[in-house]
Amino acid sequence: MTRETILELLERVQSGDITPAAALRQLAKLPYEDAGFARIDHHRALRLGLPEVIYAAGKTPEQTAEIFARMAAGGGIVLATRATAEAYAAVKAQAPAAVWHETARIIGLRRREAREPSGTVAVICAGTSDLPVAEEAAITAEYLGLNVARICDAGVAGLHRILSERETLDSVRAVIVCAGMEGALPSVVGGLVAAPVIAVPTSVGYGVAFGGVTALLGMLNSCSPNVCVVNIDNGFGAAYVAAMMLRGSAAPEPHETAASSAALI
């Protein structure tokens, strides 16, 4: 339940559209709603300024759909990451307005008009094979209230490709860089921009790429001081951190609080 939803509820009580007892039943879901197999943190948007997000991997389609529907009833936005087409079908049956972002593997729903964007983040992928992770970052960032400038297939094997994007890079307030193989691209970008760079190692590469470990270690050893690193293939985490960075750089609303990380239900 978002700050805006609670204000709407209180206004309905004031106008007589809903009884105080009925409003109390809705507020009783705070700080979480027990669905039996999951405890849904409706309160997170009040604490962090950004909502809880469903991690659909490992859940049955029915479990994902049940959590999604309960979160949708609370208003605001709802996201399910690492979702399958089967999970989307189950969600769609309960929340017909839900949208399937196939490349990103995200199911999304926006219950009200988006607020003014907090800023623009560039999402860069080194190669087309990195697109699923990059799109996970881009779609998540868009739902969390950021403008996204996408730059695809701009790896270090052809540096002219990223150099040709200087105008875009100069205009953004944060950059997310997704790369596999040796993971060099974030360091290159870090040397070009006056903005934080969030590096996302991907599990793309031959043999000694070790499923993204080589890229992860390379990014952790970056000589660009503005580069920080999230876990392998964690496009969602990169976008969530970027959203908190950009929101935090503006004057916060009274309910907004700082946080360094976000958990997935």
pLDDT at 73 over 90: no
- If one compares 118 and 68, the residue with the highest pLDDT of the two is 68
Q: Is residue 170 part of a domain?
A: yes
Q: Do 79 and 128 belong together in one domain?
A: no
Q: Do 185 and 110 belong together in one domain?
A: no
In this prediction, residue 110 has a pLDDT band, given cuts at 50, 70 and 90, of: confident
pLDDT at 3: 62
Q: Do 232 and 148 belong together in one domain?
A: yes
Q: Do 133 and 231 belong together in one domain?
A: yes
Q: Is residue 263 part of a domain?
A: no
CATH number of the domain bearing residue 197: 3.40.50.1970
pLDDT at 4 over 80: no
pLDDT at 112: 65
Q: Is residue 235 part of a domain?
A: yes
Average of per-residue pLDDT values in the chain: 85
Q: Do 57 and 134 belong together in one domain?
A: no
Domain span including residue 178 = 120-246
pLDDT at 263 over 50: no
- If one compares 56 and 49, the residue with the highest pLDDT of the two is 56
Q: Do 41 and 73 belong together in one domain?
A: yes
- If one compares 33 and 18, the residue with the highest pLDDT of the two is 18
pTM score of the predicted model: 0.79
Average pLDDT over residues 198-208: 96
Q: Do 134 and 237 belong together in one domain?
A: yes
Average pLDDT over residues 164-170: 93
Q: Do 57 and 126 belong together in one domain?
A: no
Please say whether the beta carbons of 1 and 255 come within 8 A: no
- Which of 41-45, 125-129, 246-250 has maximum average pLDDT? 125-129
Classify strands 54-55 and 77-81 as parallel, antiparallel or unpaired.
Answer: parallel
d(CA 228, CA 136): 18
Token pair, residue 241, equals: 């951190």
